[in-house]
Structure 1
């Protein structure tokens, strides 16, 4: 399984791109930064988008991606690009984004060959895409937010992605219940620990909160940190060095690729 980081920042600033990960060239985990990160040919290879939650920093490039791909669908009977997520997440996108007011509804255009379609998920019910299995599980963030676990080869290659989350004991119990040991974990550290009140109110993690969450997890995966708020990145990184002592971790960077 190949993971390419298109964006991993909690801030939209020059040199910092919003959350999106490309898996095996055809699957997106969230769509905060897609059209500015990969060329049109790579965009045309996409087949699936798994959305953790409908905050703009995780979905905004669905709009521009659909607009870019129109030429690949008009009159060509190509299967639509599937947007996967829990039903309330997809309903929010349909109601508030692809609603013919904010943006055209690309689930009905072009006529007879739409660019997009919705694929509702049920928690803990796997979706199989080629050789990749994906399952969703609720996390503590926006309404109906979820994380995802992806695996290949009966779990020999696997990755858990929390998406944005605050403290969530149920998620860690779910990860420990998997029929294989968790190997890789993408999770967040949005704010420094002295901003814990804001992190808690917005349902995010600090390095201190993340340490407490990882203590719930029996598995010892390699940890990949994303979603640091850029103004606090230096402080967050310093705190992670202390708080994640004993864990194997690294800070995700845009454009890097990771072999799972």
Structure 2
């Protein structure tokens, strides 16, 4: 399993791309930055998007990706690109984004060969895509949000992605109940710890809150940090060095490629 970081920032600033990860060249985890990070040929290889939640920094490039790919669908029999997620998340995208007001509804365009389709997921029920299996489970963020676990080879190669989240016991219980031990965990640290009140109100984590969350997990995976708010990044990095002492972790950067 290969994970390519297209964007991993919690801020939209020059040199800071919004959240999107490309898995095995054909699967996206969130879609905050896609079309500015991949050439058209690479965009055309994408077949699935797993959306954690409907905040714009995680979904905005669904719009431009669909627009770019229309030439690959018009007059052809290519299956539509599937947008996976909790039903509430997909309903929000349909109602507020792909609604013919904000953007054309590419689930019906082109006629008879649409670019996009919705694929609702139930918590804990896996979806199989070739050799890759993906399951989702709710986390504590937005009106509806979920993290994902991806695995191959019966779980020998695996990755968990929390998406954006605040403290959430149920997510860690779900991870602990998997039939394999987690090897890699992508999770967030959005604000420094002295901004815990804001982090809690917006359902995010600080380094101190993240340390407390990791204590709920029996496994000891390699930790990959994303979604740092750029204005506070230096402070967050210093705090992570203290709060995650004893954990194996690194800070994700755009263009990172990780072999799971």
Q: TM-score scaled to structure 1, two decimals?
A: 1.00
In the TM superposition, residue 144 of structure 1 has moved relative to its aligned partner by 1.8
Q: Distance in 2 between matches of 1:170 and 1:105?
A: 34
Residues 131-178 of structure 1 show CA distances to partners (whole Å, capped at 9, x for unaligned) of 000000000001220000000000000000000000001111111111
The yes-or-no answer on 1:27 pairing with 2:27 is yes
Alignment correspondent of 1:212? 212
Alignment correspondent of 2:175? 175
Q: Distance in 2 between matches of 1:247 and 1:170?
A: 22
Alignment correspondent of 1:92? 92
Q: Aligned runs of 1:1-260 on 2, under 5 Å?
A: 1-260=1-260
Runs of 4+ in 1 over 2 A off after TM superposition: none
Residues 171-216 of structure 1 show CA distances to partners (whole Å, capped at 9, x for unaligned) of 1111111100100000000000000000000000000000000011
Unaligned residue ranges in structure 1 (runs of 5+): none
Q: Distance in 1 between matches of 2:150 and 2:162?
A: 11
When structure 1 is superposed on structure 2, of 107-116 and 169-178 the one drifting more is 169-178
Residues 73-128 of structure 1 show CA distances to partners (whole Å, capped at 9, x for unaligned) of 00011100000000000000000000000000000000000000000000000000
SS of match in other structure, 2:148:
strand
SS of match in other structure, 1:258:
strand
Q: Distance in 2 between matches of 1:44 and 1:88?
A: 27
When structure 1 is superposed on structure 2, of 227-236 and 166-175 the one drifting more is 166-175
SS of match in other structure, 2:149:
strand
SS of match in other structure, 2:61:
helix
Q: TM-score scaled to structure 2, two decimals?
A: 1.00
SS of match in other structure, 2:5:
strand
Q: Distance in 1 between matches of 2:188 and 2:144?
A: 18
Residues 15-58 of structure 1 show CA distances to partners (whole Å, capped at 9, x for unaligned) of 00000000000000000000000000000000000000000000
Q: Distance in 2 between matches of 1:45 and 1:182?
A: 28
The count of aligned residue pairs is: 260
Q: Distance in 1 between matches of 2:31 and 2:45?
A: 15
